[in-house]
């Protein structure tokens, strides 16, 4: 029988996750939305700047359970470019930038292409929230606790 002695569990952390269907039923002003694990599992939009070699471009990152959508807020061109979402399960790394704590770097694969992007947030707490949320979702995706859309 597979039995783990209690003393081997003392360094483990037990995290109880709410039912995803229940979270989806909550309205945005429900008091339950303020609970950390509920907030981490709920979609949230963040206004950021994409850092480019020649400047920055405004973006709205929509962080959901399985993907991050990217909307260009300042794209006034006639032909709007489609911004492919970043699949959470395809992210290799997300980390705050050491010397610029309002910025974070994300590395991921899109199709067969390796991508690396830096985004700048309006504040250090916002950057930390995004990194923490995406790492949490990466872990749940890796563990198979979040169903991926087919």
* H or E stretch at 41: helix 36-41
pLDDT of residue 68: 97
pLDDT of residue 11: 66
Mean pLDDT of all residues in 118-147: 94
CA distance 80 to 105: 25
pLDDT digits (tens, 9 = 90+) for 9-35: 666 666 677 788 888 888 888 888 888
**Beta strand 113-120 pairing with 103-110:** antiparallel
Give the three-state DSSP class for 148: coil
| pLDDT score of 119 more than 90 | yes
Q: Tell me how far the alpha carbon of residue 80 is from its chain's centroid.
A: 24
pLDDT digits (tens, 9 = 90+) for 60-96: 999 999 999 999 876 666 556 677 999 999 999 999 9
């Amino acid at each position: 029988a597979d039995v783990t002695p209690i003393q081997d569990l003392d360094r483990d952390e037990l995290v109880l996750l709410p039912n995803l269907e229940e979270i989806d039923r909550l309205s945005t002003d429900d008091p339950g939305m303020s609970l950390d694990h509920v907030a981490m599992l709920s979609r949230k939009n963040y206004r950021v700047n994409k850092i480019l070699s020649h400047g920055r471009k405004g973006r709205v990152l929509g962080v959901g359970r399985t993907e991050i959508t990217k909307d260009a807020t300042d794209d006034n061109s006639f032909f709007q470019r489609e911004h492919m979402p970043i699949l959470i399960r395809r992210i290799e790394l997300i980390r705050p930038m050491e010397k610029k704590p309002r910025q974070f770097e994300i590395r991921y694969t899109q199709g067969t292409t390796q991508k690396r992007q830096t985004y700048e947030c309006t504040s250090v707490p916002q950057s930390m929230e995004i990194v923490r949320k995406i790492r949490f979702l990466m872990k749940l995706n890796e563990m198979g606790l979040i169903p991926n859309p087919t």
